Every structure is written in C-alpha cells, then in structure tokens.
Amino acid sequence: MELYGFGESGNAFKVAFALQAMDIDWRLRKVAFFAGETRSAAFRNLNPMGEVPVLVDGDTVLSQSGVILDYLASKTGRFAGRSATERREVLRWLFWDNHKFTGQIGPLRFLTAFLPEEKRPAGAVPFLEGRVKAACKVLDTHLAGREWLVGSAPTVADLSLCGYLWYPEPHGVERALWPGIDAWLDRLAALPGWQHPYDVMPRSFPGADARDK
C-alpha cells in the first residue's frame, strides 16, 4: 500500500502506525506540505479535501485517517474490536478523536510550532489549550483502570488517539499531568510496529533537521 504523508503529520502517523502494527507492506509517498503540495491541483485531484493522509491500496483511494483505520481493521480483522458492540465503541472514539482531541491538538501544534508568532490569530492558542485540557480530562478519566480504550485489547481507536502525543513540539498534552494517558502511551510504545513518528517518516519543516527529536 502507498501512504501519502509527511513526518510532522500526526494524522498520517496514525495510519503508518496501523500499517506497521498490522504487518502490512507499505511505502511512503512524501508530500511536501510545507511547500504547499496539498494545495496543488494534482494533490486536490487525488483528495479534493486537500489533506493527508491518503492511502492507496490498488484501486481503492481513501482519505480521512479514521476511515482509513476502519478500512485496515476491517480488511485484516486486526485492531478491530471483538464484537459489533466493540466496533461501534471504536467508531465512537474515532469520531471523538477527530472532533475533540486531535481536532484541537493538531491546530494548536500547528500554530505554536510551525506558524510564526506574528501570524497566529489572537486568542486562538489559549482557546485551543483550554479545549485540549478538557479533552485530556475525558481521555484520562476513561483510561483510569483500563489498559485500552475499547475492550481488553488495542484497537484502531488507540492508534488514532495517540497520533500526536509522541511529538517533541508543544501540542498541549503534558504526559506528566495525566497518569492514565502516560501509562497508556507506554503500553502503545511497547506494541510491535511502534516507532517514533520521525523514524517512520522523515520530518520536512525547514530547519527541523538541526533540532533534537
């Protein structure tokens, strides 16, 4: 399979992590996001939403990480949940991730790590920080006394929600403040196939190579 992505994209990392954890043969098609490639006509032809990740599996072309994760889980039967009820729970967390968790963390990290300060819309950063904190409370509370988000085994819901939490750039989630999230991330990092995002897909933000992970 071919994954369109780039190192800094936590949404692409969710899919890369799933491909590796499911032992699927894949290769990266690096997208020059910081040079504007997602806005190009060629990329919009592939995905009119103008976003990575995009997964190509033969004739199947998919975007939206949640849909791609659901596709991979359905195709392999792995990380899928063990019943129809569990699958619905998986979808519930995937939707919540896209709206309330990654949906706030991604923009917060983009504004604080990649956009020059003078270009940040006034008030956006504190607003997003508050939203991320509230979402962390929901996740941390859910994980108290649980190993995984749904049932007794890891699912694509876990692979999705962790997507941005490995990055060194600020993203609003301080592991030390959230013991449930912290322990869950240790369990995820111990899964076969886990690698740090920047070891899976090279970073491309100008000047990033000179910085530590």
Ligand X SMILES: N[C@@H](CCC(=O)N[C@@H](CS)C(=O)NCC(=O)O)C(=O)O
- List contacts with ligand X (CB under 6 A): 9, 11, 38, 50-53, 64-66, 98, 106
Residue type, 17: F
Minimum distance of ligand X from residue 199's CB (angstroms) = 18
State the minimum distance, in angstroms, from the CB of residue 51 to ligand X.
Answer: 4
Provide the β-strand partners of residue 29.
Answer: 4
Nearer to ligand X, 92 or 146 (CB): 92
- Which is nearer to ligand X, 75 or 180 (by Cβ)? 75
Nearer to ligand X by Cβ, of 12 and 143: the residue is 12
Question: In whole angstroms, how close is the CB of 188 to ligand X at the nearest point?
Answer: 18
Measured from the CB atom, the residue of 110 and 182 that comes closer to ligand X is 110
* H-state helical runs in the chain: 10-21, 41-46, 65-76, 84-96, 102-109, 124-143, 156-161, 179-189, 197-200
d(CA 159, CA 15): 8
What's the one-letter identity of residue 176? A
Largest Cα–Cα distance in the chain? 50
What is the closest distance, in whole angstroms, from the C-beta atom of residue 11 to ligand X in the complex? 4
Amino acid sitting at position 156 = V
